[in-house]
Structure 1
Amino acid sequence: MYIEPGAPWENGYAESFNSRFRDEFLAVEVFENLGTARRLTVVWKEDYNGQCPHSSLGYVTPAEFASRCAVSNRAAPSFQLHSEIT
């Protein structure tokens, strides 16, 4: 979907993440250099995606949500389309 330049409110999901990233990471860390910033970003990302519950996922972590989806997908019957070869 096209988002008008200068209109970030058109994408609430991205703005919610950007706000959280700014408040929880950028505002509390001091980076000595680019390498340190990259290492700390990886640590924050792993924590955010693996340990922090997300309200949009029913207050479970993304890892827990993904594992629940994987279990429910395995339990669901699969339907395959078969074409006749003549």
Structure 2
Amino acid sequence: MRELQRRMRDELLNGEIFYSLREAQIIIESWRNHYNTKRPHSALGYCPPAPEVILQKVQGPTMH
């Protein structure tokens, strides 16, 4: 947890000025989502912790 807090401070909070609570919530959630799903981590061999899987949507029959 301390690593996450340090990273958040270094990569996000030290470089941002938030003008509202809502703006802070949106930016922090976006950073957290990126950190936990897309950002490569050295402990994982520089792979993202939860790589995104791109699924093609199968178009079923449509009713007219």
**TM-score between both structures, scaled by the size of structure 2:** 0.70
- Aligned alpha-carbon RMSD (Å): 1.5
Structure 1, residues 27-70: CA drift from partner, whole Å, max 9, x if none?
A: 01110011100000111111112221011222110113xx8xxx
Report the residue type matching 2:42 in the other structure. Answer: S
Which consecutive unaligned segments of at least 5 residues does structure 2 have?
Answer: 54-64
Q: AA paired with 1:17? A: L
Q: How does 1:1-86 map to 2 (within 5 A)?
A: 14-64=1-51
Give ranges in structure 1 of 5+ residues lacking alignment: 1-13, 68-86
Higher relative contact order (CA 8 A, sep 6+): 2
Counting matched residue pairs gives 52
Structure 2 letter corresponding to 1:60? C
Query: What TM-score results when the alignment is normalised by the length of structure 1?
Result: 0.54
Give the fraction of aligned pairs with identical amino acids, expressed as a percent.
Answer: 38
CA drift at 1:15:
1.8
Which structure carries more helix by proportion?
1
